[in-house]
């Protein structure tokens, strides 16, 4: 699955140059964060054979870029140059403006007379414009060692997507063989990523993958990070997978990881050092993309009443206020919130606090029951309560949370009070997409699909009546289709994550109708 495979995917969609990349452009091209008048373009040059990612070697120089209305580049509408060098790891970003809204463009880079592969991108609709529909690929959790990126190949083959939303864990920090213990292919570097050079090389390795290059060349990305872009279960002051001293200072490690991320991803930072930002999609939708690692308090212990502490936060005060203000001010019909971890409560034996009586304080049981995963919003219940109360108080009806992280697919209502649901209200809905490759329950236990999941899903749904569906067995991706009438997620699964030629099949669809705040099952995917 190297050059021939990517050529097959790109054939007929990009200019012939895309099928014969110069050795100057070994990592492909990408675009991201579309605006009504522009888009961010990305590539990386290799000015000399020894100018490998993270090496600090290679001469600085100018890289040209051009944007055209046609794949043959006969009608170039914008062009310019960007200087790059070892200080940026020879990555290139061009923040192009002056383009037309809701328009498909083609772009490429040049250096020393050589062209990069050509990419295709699309601008967002004009602010407030009437938009009949929007369609986004949705992905999360792509561990290089766990399998191949066939999910990206299938998304690259689709011509109907406006953008791809990546909800985090684009790369993983572990040493080779640490997770999973029997890798399908090996990380580079082999050691755990700790330094700027390490993180740069890990990102660069990902972008040598043919399917990664294909999906980036075909669609603009709107991406956020989660923990593995840094270290497992990261929080503002540390991480589960970070040992101060032997692994250095946490702040220095985070700074290195963030620098490499912004160098290697087609992401426009809205505020220095964070990825929370908004992307408007005309009058139809507003995307609010969150950063749930940079500002969060340390995770509470499972079963600890600390999850209800109002002094603890998953968003940080400034980001939560920013989100609430943006939701209130938005004139778009649909509010799409990219959250890297699940917001829906997920518990065994969830009971109203008043029924628990004095046992709550004695046992440290949080108000919503015994939290399964305090790394999610379950571990920060005051932030969730405040956000859901805001949605209700402001009558923000059409809110959909888009989530990754937990290597399984879910379709949830987001209840105001999980213990009394469905007799009580729902504030929003949530679509959780499974992993591209990262281990699910079957992989961890080493058992065939459907061996343990039916019992687990039955128990989860019995204790969490707002959960409509969960798939704990599959790897794949989602396609979100939004119209004025409804937002629908189509869930797709792969035949085998360890097969680079894996097929994709539709698994299930759920939709929320305008004003409903609840999901319903749909019989077929969107056409």
| Same topology between domain 1-123 and domain 134-520 | no
pLDDT (average), residues 323-341: 98
Q: Which of 212, 217, 189, 192 is nearest to 52 (CA)?
A: 189
Q: Which token pair is 95? A: 């923040």
Q: Is the pLDDT of residue 365 over 80?
A: no
Alpha-carbon distance of 468 to 313, in angstroms, equals: 28
Question: Tell me, what's the pLDDT at 371?
Answer: 66
Nearest in space to 291 (alpha carbons), one of 274, 266, 304, 312: 274
pLDDT band at 449 (very low <50, low <70, confident <90, very high): confident
Q: pLDDT per residue over 482-522, tens digit each?
A: 999 999 999 999 999 999 999 999 999 999 999 999 999 99
> What local confidence, expressed as pLDDT, does residue 370 receive?
63
Superfamily of chain region 1-123: Purple acid phosphatase-like, N-terminal (2.60.40.380)
SS3 258: helix
Q: What is the pLDDT of residues 263-275, one digit of tens each?
A: 999 999 777 789 9
**What pLDDT is recorded for position 61?**
97
Q: What is the pLDDT of residue 21?
A: 56
> What are the tens digits of pLDDT across the range 90-136?
999 999 999 999 999 999 999 999 999 999 999 999 999 999 999 99
Confidence of residue 7 (pLDDT cuts 50, 70, 90): very low
Query: In whole angstroms, what is the distance from residue 144 CA to residue 209 CA?
Result: 9
Residue with tokens 């070892």: 86
The answer to whether residue 354 scores a pLDDT higher than 70 is no
Q: How many CB atoms lie within 10 A of CB 470?
A: 22
pLDDT for res 367:
60
Indicate the domain borders of the chain: 1-123, 134-520
Provide the pLDDT for residue 362.
43
Question: Does a cis peptide bond (omega within 30 degrees of 0) precede residue 348?
Answer: no
Mean of per-residue pLDDT scores for the chain: 91
DSSP 298-367: PPPPTT-GGGG-TT--SS-HHHHHHHHHHHHH--SSEEEEEESS--S--EES---HHHHTTHHHHHT--T
CA separation for the pair 164, 162 (Å, rounded):
7
Longest dimension (CA), the chain: 75
- For 47-112, give the DSSP string: -STT--TTS--S--EEEEEEEESSTT-SSEEEEEEEEE-GGGTTEEEEEE-SPPTT-EEEEEEEET
CATH class as words, domain 134-520 = alpha beta
Q: What is the pLDDT of residues 183-218, one digit of tens each?
A: 999 999 999 999 999 999 999 999 999 999 999 999
Contacts for 222 with CB less than 8 Å, ≥ 6 apart: 32, 33, 34, 136, 163, 164, 165, 166, 279, 287, 289, 338
pLDDT category of residue 444 using cuts at 50, 70 and 90: confident
pLDDT interval class at 4 (50, 70, 90): very low
Neighbours of 61 (CB within 10 A): 15
pLDDT in tens, 465-477: 999 999 999 999 9
Quick: pLDDT tens for 218-262: 999 999 999 999 999 999 999 999 999 999 999 999 999 999 999
Question: 4-8, 22-26, 523-527: lowest mean pLDDT where?
Answer: 4-8
Which pLDDT score is estimated for 156? 98
Measured distance CA(163)–CA(315) in Å, rounded: 25
Q: Which pLDDT band, with edges at 50, 70 and 90, does 460 fall under?
A: confident
pLDDT value of position 450 = 85
Q: Is the pLDDT of residue 30 over 80?
A: yes
Average pLDDT of the residues in 352-381: 62
Q: Transcribe 106-152 into DSSP letters.
A: EEEEEETTEEPPPEEEEPPPPTT---SEEEEEEE----GGG---HHH
Q: What is the dihedral of CA 277, 332, 515, 418, to 10 degrees?
A: 10
As a whole-number percent, the residues of the chain with pLDDT over 90 amount to: 83
The tokens for 483 are 């119209």
């Amino acid at each position: 699955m190297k050059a021939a495979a990517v050529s097959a995917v790109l054939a007929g969609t990009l200019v012939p140059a895309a099928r014969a990349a110069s050795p100057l452009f070994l990592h492909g091209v990408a675009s991201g964060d579309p605006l009504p008048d522009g888009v961010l373009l990305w590539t990386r040059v290799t000015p000399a054979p020894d100018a490998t990612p993270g090496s600090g070697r290679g001469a600085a120089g100018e890289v040209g870029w051009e944007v055209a209305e046609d794949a043959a580049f006969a009608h170039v509408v914008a062009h310019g140059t960007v200087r790059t060098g070892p200080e940026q790891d020879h990555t290139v970003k061009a923040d192009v403006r002056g383009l037309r809204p809701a328009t498909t463009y083609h772009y490429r880079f040049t250096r020393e007379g050589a062209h990069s592969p050509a990419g295709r991108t699309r601008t967002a609709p004009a602010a407030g414009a009437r938009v009949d529909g929007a369609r986004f690929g949705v992905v999360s959790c792509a561990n290089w060692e766990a399998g191949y990126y066939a999910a990206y190949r299938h998304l690259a083959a689709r011509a109907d997507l406006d953008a791809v939303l990546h909800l985090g864990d684009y790369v993983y920090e572990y040493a080779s063989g640490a997770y999973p213990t029997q890798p399908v292919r090996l990380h580079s570097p082999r050691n755990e990523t700790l330094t700027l050079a390490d993180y740069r090389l890990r990102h660069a390795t990902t972008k040598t993958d043919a399917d990664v290059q294909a999906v980036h060349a075909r669609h603009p990305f709107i991406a956020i990070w989660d923990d593995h872009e840094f270290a497992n279960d990261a929080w503002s002051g540390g991480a589960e997978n970070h040992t101060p001293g032997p692994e250095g200072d946490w702040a220095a490690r985070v700074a290195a990881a963030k620098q490499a991320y912004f160098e290697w991803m087609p992401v426009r930072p809205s505020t220095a050092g964070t990825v929370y930002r908004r992307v408007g999609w005309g009058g139809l939708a507003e995307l609010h993309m969150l950063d749930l690692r940079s500002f969060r308090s340390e995770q509470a212990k499972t079963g600890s009443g600390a999850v209800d502490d109002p002094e603890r936060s998953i968003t940080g005060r400034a980001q939560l206020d920013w989100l609430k203000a943006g939701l209130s001010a938005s004139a778009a019909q649909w509010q799409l919130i990219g959250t890297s971890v699940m917001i829906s409560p997920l518990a065994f034996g969830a009971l109203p606090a008043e029924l628990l009586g004095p046992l709550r304080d004695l046992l440290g049981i949080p108000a919503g029951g015994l939290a399964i995963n305090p790394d999610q919003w379950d571990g920060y219940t005051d932030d969730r309560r405040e956000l859901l109360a805001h949605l209700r108080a402001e009558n923000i009806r059409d809110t959909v949370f888009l989530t990754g992280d937990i290597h399984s697919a879910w379709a949830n209502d987001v209840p105001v009070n999980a213990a009394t649901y469905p007799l009580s209200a729902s504030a929003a809905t949530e679509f959780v997409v499974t992993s591209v490759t990262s281990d699910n329950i079957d992989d961890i236990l080493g058992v065939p699909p459907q061996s343990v999941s039916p019992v687990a899903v039955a128990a989860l749904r019995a204790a969490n009546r707002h959960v409509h569906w969960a798939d704990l067995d599959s790897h794949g991706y989602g396609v979100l289709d939004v119209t004025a009438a409804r937002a629908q997620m189509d869930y797709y699964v792969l035949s085998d994550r360890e097969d680079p030629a894996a097929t994709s099949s539709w698994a299930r669809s759920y939709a929320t109708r305008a004003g409903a705040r609840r999901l319903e099952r749909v019989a077929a995917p969107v056409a």
